[in-house]
């Protein structure tokens, strides 16, 4: 039915409010640390952009190149060329604000899948309350571009069903959907393969459901026909990317292929890794972690209940669905399967043991609209509406605090100081072939990558527990505070010489050991 003028007006205000909330999240992310923030992935991909600029090649001959794809670097280099922005300004100041625009493709996809503007607005709001989603799209990473391609490709696929009787429009929708899918693959091959695998899984579920009740059968047949050709085309795009376009991805492909064998050996011989042992220790207390993660827990539980309820109503009570809701239902199941598989993958320690964390950030994209569908049937009394508004405000505050790794609550810090970078620059300029300890974690390693790049002169930054033989140490107040927070002892520097001091940061060097047998 055509929307009324009042519905259009309400929708516009809802979109403006959602854009405003997303923009506030980006502004807070930038201003919380005065624009001086970084973390391991952000620092590494900033350096990857820098080497593309310096070499003028999408696949530079450098160990700092990004092995997963070239899309994010290509887009960033183009923006830098048009605007004159430095890479660190683009990454730290501009991109977190630009991420607010993701509200638009997310809302558009959710409306297409659910058939309701109100549910789409609620789903987008719920997504903005997920701290893992905010962290993924606000940090200096490829994931904001991944989400844009993912939202767009799925929207076009879902929308193409409308035009089955119009070959021209149907073909255009599928063609552009495949272009967006290739954009995702080229930006990050692992995320692209995950998306293609989800499409194949959704195809398999739809194929099995063709024998289901009338309310499901027709939609399952339509989805099977659509995804059968789309999945084949996407698999072809992945193969072209790996074999011909971006050979560096082959290294990661070999790591992926080794996971099943590693997992089998761990099952037979024992000794599986617990990659989540340090999750709680990364926060000041388990209670704080649980409070900040409450939206994740409720989102996971609520979406699972709605998914089961929809399945029961379709398969057992023979209620009718829509094509969009069916696609949402099977995609949720597909990414849930990937979440279960990632639990096993992380046990091998492959891919840094954080695959589940990354999969959950994508899984939340499909959990949010399911929860919104469930909440849309709730008609609370006025006083409960006030409680709901307060709960949303509290959830938004928790999402902001967790996505920025608030130092008062987190033991893993994003911020750094200009004095610390100045000290690192001096150490790199005045040392050769030297390993320098820079703190109890990789905070300053990422900071130097963000602002400068990799150390030169065969120098190397050492983080975590100092290795035997290291004679050079960077010390600052944040390093002392973080070491105390983590319960780590500072290196014994009683006999060390201070060779640099800018008032806030010192560089210590231990006396060189006297060789055995020297006079």
pLDDT in tens, 176-223: 999 999 999 999 999 999 999 999 999 999 999 998 888 899 999 999
- Residues 85 and 137 reside in one and the same domain: yes
With both helix axes pointing from N to C terminus, report the angle between 71-83 and 167-187 in degrees, rounded to the nearest 10. Answer: 90
Q: Does some domain include residue 519?
A: no
In a domain, 430, yes or no: yes
Q: Is the pLDDT of residue 347 over 90?
A: no
Same domain, 135 and 223: yes
- The answer on 361 and 316 residing in a single domain is yes
251-271 mean pLDDT: 81
- 291 and 381, same domain (yes or no): yes
Helix (H, G, I), strand (E, B) or coil at 475: strand
Instruction: Assess if residue 272 is contained within a domain.
Output: no
| pLDDT band at 433; cut points 50, 70, 90 | very high
| Residue finishing a domain among 379, 403, 427 | 403
Query: Taking 50 as the threshold, does the pLDDT of residue 113 lie above it?
Result: yes
Whether residue 275 is contained in a domain is answered as: no
- State whether 367 and 445 are in the same domain: no
- Please count the structural domains in the chain: 2
Q: Confirm whether 277 is domain-assigned.
A: no
Asked if 207 and 316 sit in the same domain, the reply is: yes
pLDDT at site 490: 95
pLDDT at 3: 55
Count of other CB atoms within 10 angstroms of residue 414? 23
Each residue of 441-480: pLDDT tens digit? 999 999 999 999 999 999 999 999 999 889 999 999 999 9
Q: For 288-336, what is each residue's pLDDT tens digit?
A: 999 999 999 999 999 999 999 999 999 988 888 899 999 999 999 999 9
Task: Give the model confidence (pLDDT) of 65-110 as tens digits.
Answer: 999 999 999 999 999 999 999 999 999 999 999 999 999 999 999 9
Find the angle CA(365)-CA(280)-CA(397) to the nearest 5 degrees: 50
Q: In which band, very low, low, confident or very high, does the pLDDT at 422 lie, cut at 50, 70 and 90?
A: very high
**Host domain of residue 480:** 418-509
At 235 the pLDDT is 97
Question: 288: how many CB neighbours lie within 10 A of its CB?
Answer: 18
Average pLDDT over residues 105-133: 97
In a domain, 182, yes or no: yes
> What mean pLDDT do residues 137-152 have?
97
Residue 516 belongs to a domain: no
Q: Return the bridge partners of 507, or none.
A: 474, 500
Q: What is the 3-state secondary structure (H, E, C) of 230-287?
A: HHHHHHHHHHHHHHHHCCCHHHHHHHHHHHHHHHHHHHHHCCCCCCCCCCHHHECCHH
Neighbouring C-alpha atoms within 13 Å toward the C-beta of 478:
22
Q: Same domain, yes or no, for 449 and 362?
A: no
pLDDT of residue 272: 64
pLDDT at 383 over 90: no
Whole-number Å distance between alpha carbons of 303 and 46: 35
Rounded to whole angstroms, the Cα distance separating 207 from 312 reads 18
The last residue of one of the domains, among 357, 380, 403, is: 403
Q: What is the pLDDT of residue 473?
A: 98
Judge if 200 and 262 occupy the same domain.
yes
Strands 505-509 and 472-476: antiparallel
Whether residue 409 lies inside any domain: the answer is no
For residue 518, what pLDDT is reported? Answer: 41
User: pLDDT by residue (tens digit) across 2-27?
Assistant: 555 667 889 999 999 999 999 999 99
Q: Mean pLDDT, to the nearest integer, of 407-434? A: 97
> How does pLDDT run across 155-187, given as a tens digit for each residue?
999 999 999 999 999 999 999 999 999 999 999
Sequence-ordered list of residues with C-beta below 8 angstroms from that of 194, at least 6 positions apart, any chain? 338, 359, 362
Which carries the bigger pLDDT value, residue 267 or residue 292? 292
* Helices of type H across 279-376: 286-292, 294-315, 323-347, 355-375
Same-domain pairing of 425 and 392: no
Domain stop point among 376, 403, 430: 403
Residues 335 and 461 in one domain: no
The Cα–Cα gap between 125 and 375 comes to: 12
Residue 365 token pair: 């994209």
Same domain, residue pair 297 and 326: yes
Give the C-alpha separation, 255 to 189, whole Å.
13
C-alpha to C-alpha distance for 375 and 1, rounded to whole angstroms: 23
Return d(Cα 52, Cα 65) in angstroms, integer.
Answer: 8
pLDDT at 382: 86
Identify the pLDDT of residue 514.
Answer: 54
pLDDT > 90 fraction of the chain, expressed in percent and rounded: 82
- Whole-number mean pLDDT of the chain? 93
Q: 151 and 197: one domain?
A: yes
Q: What is the pLDDT of residue 429?
A: 97
């Amino acid at each position: 039915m055509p929307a009324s003028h009042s519905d259009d007006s309400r929708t516009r205000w809802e979109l403006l409010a959602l854009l405003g909330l997303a923009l506030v999240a980006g502004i807070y992310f930038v201003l919380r640390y005065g624009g001086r923030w970084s973390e391991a992935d952000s620092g590494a991909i900033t350096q990857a952009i820098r080497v593309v600029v310096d070499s003028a090649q999408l696949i530079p001959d450098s160990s700092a190149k990004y092995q997963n794809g070239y899309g994010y670097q290509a887009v960033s280099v183009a923006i830098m060329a048009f605007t004159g922005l430095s890479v660190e300004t683009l990454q730290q100041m501009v991109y977190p604000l630009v991420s607010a625009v993701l509200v638009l493709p997310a809302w558009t996809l959710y409306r297409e899948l659910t058939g309701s503007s109100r549910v789409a607005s609620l789903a987008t709001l719920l997504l903005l309350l997920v701290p893992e989603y905010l962290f993924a799209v606000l940090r200096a990473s490829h994931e904001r571009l991944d989400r844009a391609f993912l939202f767009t490709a799925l929207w076009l696929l879902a929308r193409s069903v409308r035009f089955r009787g119009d070959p021209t429009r149907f073909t255009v929708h599928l063609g552009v959907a495949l272009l967006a899918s290739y954009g995702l693959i080229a930006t990050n091959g692992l995320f692209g393969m995950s998306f293609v695998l989800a499409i194949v899984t959704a195809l398999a579920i739809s194929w099995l459901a063709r024998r289901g009740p009338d309310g499901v059968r027709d939609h399952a047949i339509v989805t099977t026909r659509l995804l059968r050709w789309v999945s084949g085309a996407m698999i072809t795009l992945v193969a072209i990317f790996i074999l011909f376009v971006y050979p560096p991805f082959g290294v990661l492909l070999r790591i992926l292929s080794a996971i099943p064998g590693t997992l089998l050996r761990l099952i037979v011989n024992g000794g599986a890794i617990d990659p989540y042992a340090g999750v709680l220790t990364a926060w000041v207390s388990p209670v704080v972690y649980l409070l900040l993660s409450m939206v994740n827990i409720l989102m996971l539980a609520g979406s699972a209940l709605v998914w089961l309820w929809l399945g029961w109503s379709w398969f057992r009570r023979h209620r009718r669905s829509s094509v969009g809701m069916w696609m949402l239902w099977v995609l949720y199941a597909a990414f849930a399967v990937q979440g279960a598989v990632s639990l096993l993958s992380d046990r091998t320690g492959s891919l840094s043991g954080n695959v589940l964390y990354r999969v959950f950030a994508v899984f939340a994209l499909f959990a949010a609209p399911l929860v919104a569908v469930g909440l849309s049937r709730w008609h609370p009394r006025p006083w409960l509406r006030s409680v709901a508004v307060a709960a949303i405000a509290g959830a938004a505050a928790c999402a902001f605090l967790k996505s920025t790794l608030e130092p008062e609550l987190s033991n893993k810090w994003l911020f750094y100081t200009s004095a610390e970078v100045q000290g690192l620059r001096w150490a790199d300029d005045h040392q050769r072939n030297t390993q320098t300890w820079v703190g109890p974690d990789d905070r300053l390693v990422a900071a130097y990558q963000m602002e400068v790049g990799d150390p030169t002169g065969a120098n190397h930054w050492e983080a975590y527990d100092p290795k035997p033989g290291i004679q050079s140490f960077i010390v600052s107040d944040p390093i002392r505070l973080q070491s105390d927070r983590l319960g780590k002892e500072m290196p014994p520097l009683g006999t060390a010489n201070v060779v640099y001091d800018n008032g806030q940061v010192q560089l210590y060097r231990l006396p060189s050991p006297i060789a055995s047998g020297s006079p």
